[in-house]
Chains A and B, each alone.
Chain A
Amino acid sequence: MTGPADIIFYLLAAMTVGAAILVAILPNIVYSAIALLFSFAGVAGLYVYLSADFLAATQVLIYVGGILILILFAVFLSNRISDVKISNPSRFHWQAAFICLGLFGILSYTAVSTAFPVKAVLSYQPTTSEIGELLMTRYLLPFEVASVLLLAALIGAAMLSRPDGGRGRPAEMEEPKR
């Protein structure tokens, strides 16, 4: 039962969950961001085990390559380097740990004790062409709505992040006041 695939699966799971725990508890926010990278990469590996090859590649490209870089930019632009020790204070440790561990217990118990109608034969097929077809046929409206949302988010983010809130001309941009 325990083949190399299982061992790699457990290693991936341990990397994902361990990195997620580090994201939650590490005091230095830069280390948290690096741990988040490993967590995202581990999730991409889990997608491979779920026969979601296109999704695994998308996860690596967009989460690891895009969102994580954005988060790192946010970290570096919003923290003074000398403050890195105190840049990430936290609070409510015990209450939050109690809530999260309790919720984890409930969710795990529910997941293990419920009899899901699992398929007898699992198929591992390439999914990219099917996803492309579905996005252009059955899920065309959500696809277009998502594209409009991305455009709106892009314009809104560019507008918001200008120092004067978008009122002046780009030539008048200046460094934000410290």
Chain B
Amino acid sequence: MSLEKLLVISAALFCCGLYAILTRRNAVAVLMGVELVLNAASINFVAFSHYVSRVIGGQIFAIFVIVLAAAEAAVALAIFLRLYATTGTVEVDTADHLKG
């Protein structure tokens, strides 16, 4: 276990999340990618807080990331349900009603 290994793991998580965000058309799968990216950022915060700095602030940041992810997931689920009730699908390509 060292800082570099954790950074590489977090980079791998970030890239998997980015791949899911870029390729998926189902909005729920895009949300899963966003959660992976948030987890990668949290790992970085905690790893630097453990290995480099002497304060525990990185863990506090990770807790706030978890709180934000929870709020985001709840609102995103509500929006997906409205989208599904309106259009019958949750594909992100179909949600272009605001396009002129």
Question: Chain A interface (Cβ within 8 Å of chain B)?
Answer: 5-6, 9, 13, 16-17, 20-21, 23-25, 29, 32-33, 36, 39-40, 43, 46-47, 49-52, 54-55, 58-59, 62-63, 66-67, 70-71, 73-75, 77-79, 87-93, 95-97, 99-101, 103-104, 107-108, 111-112, 116-119, 122, 127, 130-131, 134-135, 139, 142, 146, 149-150, 153-154, 156-161, 163, 165, 176-178
Contacts and interface: CB of A to CB of B under 8 A. Distances in A.
Given A71-B31, A117-B52, 13 more contacts: A55-B46, A62-B70, A73-B77, A74-B81, A88-B26, A96-B19, A99-B18, A104-B12, A116-B3, A149-B67, A157-B74, A160-B79, A161-B78
B96 interface: no
Contacts of A20: 12-13, 16-17, 36
A63 B38 CA distance: 11
| For the complex of A and B, 4 pairs with smallest distance between CB atoms | A111-B7, A176-B85, A153-B71, A107-B11
A153 B84 contact: no
B73 A71 contact: yes
A77 B49 CA distance: 39
Given A78-B80, A92-B23, A112-B4, A52 B50 contact: yes
Nearest to B50: A50
Interface residues of B, number: 73
Interface of B is mostly: helix
Interface of B: 1-9, 11-20, 22-29, 31-33, 35-36, 39, 42-43, 46-52, 54, 56-57, 59-60, 62-64, 66-85, 88, 90-91
A17 B23 contact: no
A58 B48 CA distance: 19
Nearest to A177: B85
B15 A49 contact: no
Nearest to A158: B78
A119 B50 CA distance: 9
Contact of B19 (A16, A88, A100, A165): A100
